[in-house]
Amino acid sequence: MKLLFIGDIVGQPGRRAVGELLPKLREQYQLDFVIANGENSAGGSGITPRTAEEIFSAGVDIITSGDHLWDQKEVMELLAREKRFLRPLNYPPGTPGQGSGVFEVQSSRFKVQGLLLVAVLNLQGRTFMPPLEHPFLLAAEEVKRLRERTKIIFVDFHAEATSEKIAFARFLDGQVSAVVGTHTHVQTADEQIFPGGTAYLSDAGFTGPHESVLGREIEPVIKRFLTGMPQRFEVAKNNVLLHGALIEVDDATGRALKIRRVTEKLKI
């Protein structure tokens, strides 16, 4: 099967890029399943039911999130009713929402005939991040549970430190199909397949305006660094790119066969 993961969608420009580019990418790569990190889709911080529906309508199957999960109060509605929306698994017990899910995918092209089950797991790192539960230990337990239903498991690891991302992916090598990092908004060039068959990329980058500082207007960010004074960081507008990773997975074993970075420019 062919799976596309779309890096952090930032604001209206990012949503527009997904809406205009994803249908073409689905056809070009014959995609079976699309996952996107949407935690910055509402004005650059957080997500709402409206922005989530816009992303789903564009052809995204599952939306993951991260440390900006709580930035919009409307997110509580998504957490309560939308099974296709995931928050990091390593929030304490009793937190609304779910950190993983198993989803049905059907295509006549599958080597295994008929229906396939794909698991998606969302976790958040702890280095230079809010102190959540231990992602390694929770992932090991959850992956074991998910593998009872399917061997095709994709993990969005939302983390700051590259060392934590690599160690986490090495820890899960051979147990999941792919681990792709999010959060830093800078697409890395270290895509690879580990010996156990797990595809890896430290960061998928971000989908939104790249004539910016990580999606925000340039001047206020520079002023903040120069003066230390609070600034309003509006979402930028120009040079809009869709960043992500295209992964091909063996239908029967769940082992990754290929991984490549994706960068697509939104034409004005």
User: How many Å from the N-terminal Cα to the C-terminal Cα in the chain?
Assistant: 32
Neighbouring C-beta atoms of residue 229, cutoff 10 Å: 7
- Buried b / exposed e along 137-170 (16+ C-beta atoms within 10 A): ebbeebbeebeeebbbbbbbbbbbbeebbbebbe
As a whole number of angstroms, the distance between CA 23 and CA 28 comes to: 9
Contact present, 74 and 106 (Cβ < 8 Å): no
Contact present, 207 and 7 (Cβ < 8 Å): yes
Neighbouring C-beta atoms of residue 112, cutoff 10 Å: 10
As a whole number of angstroms, the distance between CA 59 and CA 56 comes to: 5
Q: Which residues are catalytic?
A: 68
Where do the H-state alpha helices sit in the chain? 11-29, 49-57, 75-81, 135-146, 162-172, 218-227
The position carrying tokens 């949503």 is 15
